[in-house]
Structure 1
Amino acid sequence: MVHTGRPSRGCVVCRKRKIKCDEKYPECSYCLRTKQKCPGYKDMFDLAWRDQTSLAQKNVQRGKRASSRQDSQEPREKGLSRTAPQLHDYLATLNPILDIIPSALKEDPEAYALGFFFSSYANPPVEADDRRGFLEHVGPQYVMAPPDSTLQMATMALSSFLFMAWLGRRPDSPVSRSFYLKAISSMKDRIQQPEGCADNDILTSVLILQMYEVCITRYETDQTCSNRLVPNTLAGIVQNNQLPNSHLRGALALVKHRGVEDFTDSISQSLLFQIRSQLIDDAFRRGQPLSEEVSTWAAHLEGATRERALPPSVRLDNINIDLANLEAVAQRRVVLLPIFKSPLDPHDILNKARDIERQLGEWCGTLPHSWLPLRMVGEDSIPPTIKSAGLYQNHCHIYPSISIASTWNKQRIALIKVQSLILEQLAQHSPSDENIFARTASENRVQQLADDICASVPFSLGDKTTPAAIGDRRIRYPHAPGKKVSSGHYQMAPALGGFWLLGPLQILTGMKIELRRGQRQWVGGQLMRIARIYNIRN
């Protein structure tokens, strides 16, 4: 093989050191200067006609290695090209949020966590009646809050916690804990000021810190979720009556100090209703009635907001207050000794339970038509991957949003609690045809409610069975024929859908009423699925 390039005629020493040789005869200047023997030069014809076999082999091997590296990188590049539009869409949702963030935060990694939080958890509701308590107000409040305020520190604590959790890392990191401690310190200083207790930002901060503490309970250990995590253990994580509520009690103290009559604007009323909703959930968990003061909050607000103008979730809580108090009385009556008189006898409890059942039925009639669930069947609406991931029976329901689906399940759980109370009281009556008919009707109603809760699972989880990124459009969700899944659903469903399913599914596994054969096991499997998706730990 002929070498077509200009060969190097330098001595061996200079060529090994890769320096220019002056090719002086008999020895080059470099060898003379370094006092070493110059090996001399090869004949120019030997250089021109030198054997290139070894060089060619090296070039071939080098080409093969380069080709293999290119082949291994090609799938990654193709995958990146497929996900580039998704990444672009996700960044497009973050840009409006990042534009309002102070420039100092943009230089910090925490800015990404903040954008993640506002785009996935605190974005505006889909409809005017689709309110999620207080999160939709955090954005406007955050922008107006001064730097290093309690609200900004609390928001950063929760944002960094959730962001780290979705990255698959330990969320209770020094970063989130540092923001949490700064928020606590700032809140103490703020509350000591006369106007601090009447500030909406402080009340919002307390609710954010309460949410932060509840999230920590899901990451109590370093052990990740395994298949050995039984549904009962997971259910205990959700319904544990020892969930932290110190910040919730602090929020209640702030409301008492401020006075309910001072909650007149839309933000303060949303905060008040959110505190009341959490107090109702806490009362259900602990089996204790709500205080008389909390029960009368709605009456204080009737002058500012007419009952029909209240959001459906707030009107549902108005009914759940009576249900929580009635359930607490019924549970107390069971544990009391016969010598102690209960304020209500079984007949009174039965009548009150049926009255609450009537109110819950009327609540459905007050909903906007757009709130009604749509029943989907067939592969045109339900992708086959959803069936393999978790589809009970052959249909599912879709809703305008995840929060509306959660409100419906909250109403169904309330009805299940009512039916349980009715069955408990009927069991204390003497058997009769009317009694047997009423028991059968209640059991059938519970079965239908359980089926409806199971039918909401695909809308919240799609075909996802393992952790996935928020906004991932490769996840398949049920949809109306000929219509696409909304972009907001790709954000909200992974962020909150599974967590809002935990409570209803847990109640289905723990209630004493019998369900259809195999349904309780299916629900337990979905609880395990949620644990894997959200890396809930035991």
Structure 2
Amino acid sequence: MVYCGKPSKGCSNCRERKIRCDQKEPGCGQCEKRQQQCPGYRNLVDLMFRDESSHVIKKAAKTKARGRLKNAQASSAGSSSENVVASTDPESSDPSPGTAVKTGVRRQYPPRPMDTTMMTIRHRPRQIQWSSSSSDSDDDEDGLLPSSPEDGPWSTAPQARPLYSLSPSYQERGTAFFFSRYVSMDENACHQNYDFIFDVWRPASMLPSRQADGVMASVAAVGLAGLSHLTMCAEMMDWSRRSYGAALKMTNDALRDPVEAVKDTTMLSILVLGTYEMLSGRTNQTVRAWQNHLNGASALAKMRGLGQFRTRAGARMFMMLTQIVLINCMQRDMPMPQSLIDLRNQLGMLSGGTDPGWRLSGPIYKVMQLRYEINSGKLNQTADIINQLSNVDQDFADVIADLPETWRYRSVRITTAHPAVFDGHRCDVYATLGLAATWNGVRSIRMMVHETILGELFKCFQGQHIMLWPYEAKLQLAKSVELLEKLCETVLASIPQHFGVVNFRDAMFGGGGSTSAIVPATRSPSRIVRSPSISASSSSPSSVAESAPSPRVFNGPTLQDPTYAKGRSNDAERFMTLASASNTIVWPLYLVGVSSCCTQVVKDFVVDRLKAILEESGLMQAHGVALMVRDKEVYIPWSDVSWNRMPQTHIPSDLIV
């Protein structure tokens, strides 16, 4: 399989005319202007690879044919020379001084058999040029084929033994799966994206002598692990483990070399191996191995220093590492490592401190530090905890208020009620699903912040009716409940785009310059739950617990225990099920489904969407998360509160995202 570069996204009509295609749905505007039927658009993932087996076979056959032709010419030349000698002096084998000797005369020796016991065939050294087009790479493929004797002298040096032997068919399948899922050219891909991989690394040949590549081995391991989960093939998982072991050995060898250790390819191998460890298992032993792996990666990032930020790929890998370390810190109840925080601050100085993603990471690190101080007992006063959490939530709001226009989402209404949209009509559309993931990540953390505030309030005033609380406590309760409802509502509004119901292009063309648009739905979901006629998120707080059991104790997803894993025998499995879900909408869906503001209707909708993710993408973690949401009983202590007697909140619009 040969990588063929980035293909055109346009329809075939526009490609034939060599014009820019606007890629509108269901047909492009150029075809519409010419009153032609648009043939539609190709699946780019299927076009990323091409089977070149027959082409390589033809090239090898041509090489052999050239060799046979040269041998035949050499034989005919030798025969003609012998004939000339024989006709000149047929009876004399030792010419006398007076005899004229032809220049073509040479002494003939009997043929000697070739000794092949210690000989290995290896092509001459050649500089390989990488090219994104298949036409340019055709010449390079000759360098990957065994050369013939006519091309030059054969080297008899011993050939390097490959560090591992993986079935070519399995390696190709695993690599192709990794590229289709994690290096997708589609900007709306939900999965963890290694789209920068070619800025760091170029794939070697699939020949056994070229397989000593830590990145290639780790890529194959992740791809085969993902395929084994989809196909339930135990043999494929066995090959995945072999490739993982080889990748681990080669990465450890690179880390022992001071020069190789700081290279981008070494960090890339570590990140891909971390992805494998998150996918391969969810036992306590697996979690410990993953944590040790991340500790080493953090130390390596410190060793790489500011040099890793000189390239776009280096900065991307650092940000990806911090995201994974953040998950690890949540599992271990630890703050972010100070070395990573210092590097993050230095990255901000290099970028001018204006990058929105960099600015959003600041409040996130503060939340992790607060979580550590609360769990360790360093921060134990209710008033101090609530004050600190409120301040960090305001930090989020300040950053969001200054986000550029390109980061903003757009609210749209579906022309006809669609069952994949929670309230039937309203949804939010983002320029890319990467931006949607960032927004939902911020919302998820803010939801846990306010769930923690509510938990602290109920712990402080345990046994007292809410109406007997001090005014400040009731006001804070009302604010947090309202913000939680709004945050859940915006997460639900982002879900339709993840399932292809709407897209940003339709939203831009459908509403002109207004902030909202009316667009048609583009597809139906694989599974649907009938939405209520009235959105639960727009109902009053007094109706929040219509179908919930009578309240006993507050148990929302707080920062201290967001997965309800503490004290359980399967705590590692529960946490890693959520952490290893590569679809970015799974975690926000989980938090909405277990939120203290969740109704039974919302929970049913969340469970259905998680099952739809399983059916459409084969993500097994989505099934586990769906069971966690389904089995979670949420107790809502404010179900019997007279909200008209509670303090009235006036939350600024910039606080609601």
- The answer to whether the aligner puts 1:138 opposite 2:197 as a matched pair is yes
- 1:360 is displaced (CA, Å) by 0.7
Residue in structure 2 matched with residue 359 of structure 1 by the alignment = 395
Residue in structure 2 matched with residue 66 of structure 1 by the alignment = none
Q: How does 1:433-472 map to 2 (within 5 A)?
A: 433-462=471-500
RCO higher in structure (CA 8 A, sep ≥6) = 1
- 1:262 is displaced (CA, Å) by 5.6
Cα separation, partners in 2 of 1:300 and 1:210, compared to 1, 3 Å:
same
Residue in structure 1 matched with residue 561 of structure 2 by the alignment = none
Residue identity matched to 1:142: W
Residue in structure 1 matched with residue 300 of structure 2 by the alignment = 254
Residue identity matched to 1:364: I
Matched residue SS, 1:288: coil
- 1:123 is displaced (CA, Å) by 3.8
- 1:136 is displaced (CA, Å) by 2.1
Residue in structure 1 matched with residue 182 of structure 2 by the alignment = 121
Contact 2:484-2:597 at 8 Å conserved across structures: no
Residue in structure 2 matched with residue 423 of structure 1 by the alignment = 454
Contact 2:174-2:219 at 8 Å conserved across structures: no
Q: How does 1:371-386 map to 2 (within 5 A)?
A: 371-379=407-415, 384=418
Residue in structure 2 matched with residue 269 of structure 1 by the alignment = 315
- 1:318 is displaced (CA, Å) by 2.0
Contact 1:390-1:526 at 8 Å conserved across structures: no
Matched residue SS, 1:159: helix
- 1:178 is displaced (CA, Å) by 2.7
- 1:202 is displaced (CA, Å) by 0.5
Residue in structure 2 matched with residue 245 of structure 1 by the alignment = 291
Contact 2:173-2:223 at 8 Å conserved across structures: no
- 1:356 is displaced (CA, Å) by 1.0
- The answer to whether the aligner puts 1:409 opposite 2:455 as a matched pair is no
The structure 2 residue matched to 1:502, chosen from 570, 586, 610, is 586
User: What are the superposed Cα offsets for residues 37-64 of structure 1, whole Å, 9 maximum, x if unpaired?
Assistant: xxxxxxxxxxxxxxxxxxxxxxxxxxxx
Q: How does 1:116-515 map to 2 (within 5 A)?
A: 116-123=177-184, 126=187, 135-143=194-202, 148-166=212-230, 169=233, 173-217=237-281, 244-259=290-305, 263-308=309-354, 310=355, 312-333=356-377, 342-343=378-379, 345-379=381-415, 384=418, 387=419, 389=420, 391-392=422-423, 394-427=425-458, 428=460, 431-462=469-500, 480=506, 499-511=583-595, 513-515=596-598
Contact 1:461-1:497 at 8 Å conserved across structures: no
- 1:172 is displaced (CA, Å) by 5.0
In the alignment of these two chains, the number of paired residues is 398
Residue in structure 1 matched with residue 3 of structure 2 by the alignment = none
Give distance in 1, aligned partners of 2:235 and 2:482. Answer: 43
Give distance in 2, aligned partners of 1:449 and 1:354. Answer: 15
Contact 2:182-2:194 at 8 Å conserved across structures: yes
- 1:519 is displaced (CA, Å) by 1.7
Q: Where do 4+ consecutive residues of structure 1 move more than 6 Å?
A: 84-88, 130-134, 240-243, 476-479
- 1:169 is displaced (CA, Å) by 4.6
- 1:330 is displaced (CA, Å) by 2.1
- 1:191 is displaced (CA, Å) by 1.4
Residue in structure 2 matched with residue 230 of structure 1 by the alignment = none
User: What are the superposed Cα offsets for residues 296-334 of structure 1, whole Å, 9 maximum, x if unpaired?
Assistant: 3322334422210x3x3333222111001112222333x
User: What are the superposed Cα offsets for residues 322-355 of structure 1, whole Å, 9 maximum, x if unpaired?
Assistant: 001112222333xxxxxxxx34533222222122
Residue identity matched to 2:360: L
Residue in structure 2 matched with residue 522 of structure 1 by the alignment = 605
Matched residue SS, 1:397: strand
Residue in structure 1 matched with residue 47 of structure 2 by the alignment = 92
Quote the sequence identity (%): 17
Residue identity matched to 2:327: D
Give distance in 2, aligned partners of 1:530 and 1:124. Answer: 20
Matched residue SS, 1:315: helix
Give distance in 2, aligned partners of 1:326 and 1:94. Answer: 47
User: What are the superposed Cα offsets for residues 271-309 of structure 1, whole Å, 9 maximum, x if unpaired?
Assistant: 22221121112222333322333333322334422210x
Give distance in 2, aligned partners of 1:173 and 1:113. Answer: 10
Give distance in 2, aligned partners of 1:322 and 1:89. Answer: 40
Matched residue SS, 1:528: helix
Contact 1:327-1:421 at 8 Å conserved across structures: no
- 1:443 is displaced (CA, Å) by 0.3
- 1:211 is displaced (CA, Å) by 0.4
User: What are the superposed Cα offsets for residues 399-455 of structure 1, whole Å, 9 maximum, x if unpaired?
Assistant: 112211111110101111221233234443782223212211110110111111122
Contact 2:178-2:220 at 8 Å conserved across structures: no
Residue identity matched to 2:47: A
Contact 2:422-2:605 at 8 Å conserved across structures: no
Matched residue SS, 2:403: coil
Contact 2:225-2:237 at 8 Å conserved across structures: yes
Give distance in 2, aligned partners of 1:187 and 1:133. Answer: 21
Matched residue SS, 1:396: strand
Residue identity matched to 1:328: Y
Segments of 5+ residues of structure 2 without an aligned counterpart are 1-38, 51-130, 145-165, 205-209, 462-467, 511-518, 523-579, 625-657
Give distance in 2, aligned partners of 1:243 and 1:411. Answer: 28
